[in-house]
Chains A and B, each alone.
Chain A
């Protein structure tokens, strides 16, 4: 945990400092850069940039059907074409957009809802805490992927439902981390001081507790994105992700299995793209944990 700092209590009193409060953890003195963090962050940034710039990076359209099905990698189709003659590189880049969108949005949803629940549970303790935690126990008893499959199948496979379902599934992770950290921060002197000064309950939680439990939550967010990407890929492999013809990594791998002997590049390239992004987020998460851990 971040140590109680003398200036911490003053922070909410000064609007101009308040606005900068969330950035505090990335201040040079707090964030000690390490190799995994640097490599991971670079990989994540590269992936995000490629995904965002996808429409301008290749001269093809992900749905455009060329008169060259299953053509091997060439100068025109850098990673070849699939059985319908669509450019594989273009499809991989566009798949990154939907995959990263689903993963980041569901992680964000889980982050916000889970943090709120954990904060309230940890800060109020007693019956509210017990009730919320038992509900999370139930949610976590399900094997995540299994529940995701069932829920998406029932609700219908589309982007909002994927984000909702996965957000719900990942929410307990954040709630537990937030609750545990809140329990330890709650006993700090600056919280007692805030209460003594008559700061309201909600304000104490959001302005005094939240900034001090942010570090482990940020680490959790980075690792949750990796699980979200893998879950989304598994769902779309099973045909329960973003629906064709829009490309997804899992869907591309699933489609490729029928022509695997003829066109091995079809199965491997989307997989490698996915593994690259996941490794990036994992390294970033591990690196952040080391960088933000005051004991390290």
Chain B
């Protein structure tokens, strides 16, 4: 197990280095001189003020040195100061991250609650109406971006169920239960595409498992239909489903950025978009780095969970 985990983590290092390089590069992609963007057109590029900005951002250093300074800071949790607020970026991210994580986790739960049973039912009724209905709804789920589902949900609920609180304050420290209630609708909205992906993977995996001889054996031995489906069928179909969870995790995190905007949630997406609207590029850089690192880590965890779920990998690895 340790060796497998170690290899997997070592493989992630070059990816993480690349990710940090690209996040670092974002600030240098801005057309023109970043200083004139930050200081405004009235400040001359060689003036005292411009020089100060340049020094503060280490822009007077060569690029590799800039990257080194930025990365070593980032590894210590110091992502530099916000260009707009002047405050350190790190604590800002730390205070916004829990909302996004909670939203993502909740919607993953929803996605599994919808996708797993949906996939099993679709597989067992292959070609008949429940299968067709589930796949039809799934097609709709994949084809509708979460922000539109969110807007439509708020709209329809406000007309047909006016007492339902669609928007609310989220403050995890003061009111955890209330925050969770507020997060339920956004999480559901965000989960639909992921639920479809999980449903499709589950259906495909179940179809394969259903054809296996051990399913007939289990039935012949007198095990109940549901027991055969769950204990013998779903358990063996679970591995591709774990892959689906890994695939959807990245989508969920990115989708959360947009859904937070629809529902006005104080998560990492709101932080990033506000930073973009205010041209606060150190903030954007840090947010991209943190979120992407998180996604890479999630994928490592998913890979490691194969190991726990499938004894066959343990023998080889």
Contact = CB atoms under 8 A, between A and B. Distances in A.
Asked if chains A and B come from one complex, the reply is: yes
B15 interface: yes
B80 to A, nearest CB: 16
Interface string B141-177: 0111101100110110011000000000000000000
Contacts of B38: none
B291 A141 contact: no
B139 interface: yes
Nearest to A260: B155
Contact of A147 (B14, B30, B281, B288): B288
B295 A141 contact: yes
A109 B284 CA distance: 27
A66 interface: no
B257 A142 contact: no
A268 B155 contact: yes
Given A153-B276, A237-B147, A264 B155 contact: yes
Interface string B1-41: 00000000000001110110011001101110000000000
B189 interface: no
Interface stretch (A2-10, A55-63, A80-88, A276-284): A276-284
A142 B148 contact: no
Contacts of A268: 152, 155
B187 interface: no
Nearest to B142: A282
Nearest to A156: B31
Given A155-B29, A233-B145, A234-B147, A142 B19 contact: yes
A138 interface: yes
A146 B292 contact: yes
A240 B22 CA distance: 20
A296 interface: no
Given A150-B284, A238-B261, A142 B292 contact: yes
A206 interface: no
Nearest to B275: A153
B257 A146 contact: yes
B155 to A, nearest CB: 5
A257 B151 contact: yes
A149 interface: yes
A143 B253 contact: yes
B251 A143 contact: yes
B177 to A, nearest CB: 27
Interface string B280-299: 01001000100110011001
Contacts of B250: 143-144
A274 B146 CA distance: 13
B18 A146 contact: no
B103 to A, nearest CB: 14
Interface string B198-221: 000000000000000000000000
A271 B152 CA distance: 9
Interface in A104-152: 134-135, 137-139, 141-147, 149-151
Nearest to A153: B276
A276 B151 CA distance: 17
A235 B257 CA distance: 11
Interface in B232-269: 250-251, 253-255, 257-258, 261-262
B139 A146 contact: no
A273 B129 CA distance: 27
B148 A144 contact: no
A49 to B, nearest CB: 20
A172 to B, nearest CB: 13
A271 B155 CA distance: 13
Interface in A163-204: none
B281 to A, nearest CB: 7
A151 B257 CA distance: 15
Contacts of B143: 226, 230, 275, 278-279, 282
Contacts of A238: 258, 261, 273
A261 B31 CA distance: 40
Given A141-B292, A279-B140, A282-B143, A253 B272 contact: no
A250 B155 CA distance: 16
B19 A138 contact: yes
A260 B284 CA distance: 30
B254 A274 contact: no
11 contacts: A141-B15, A142-B19, A146-B292, A150-B26, A150-B284, A153-B276, A156-B31, A234-B145, A234-B147, A250-B147, A275-B140
A-B pairs, top 7 by smallest CB distance, nearest first, are: A138-B18, A143-B254, A145-B254, A278-B143, A271-B148, A153-B276, A154-B29
Interface of A: 134-135, 137-139, 141-147, 149-151, 153-156, 226, 230, 233-234, 237-240, 250, 253, 256-257, 260-261, 264, 267-268, 271, 274-275, 278-279, 282-283
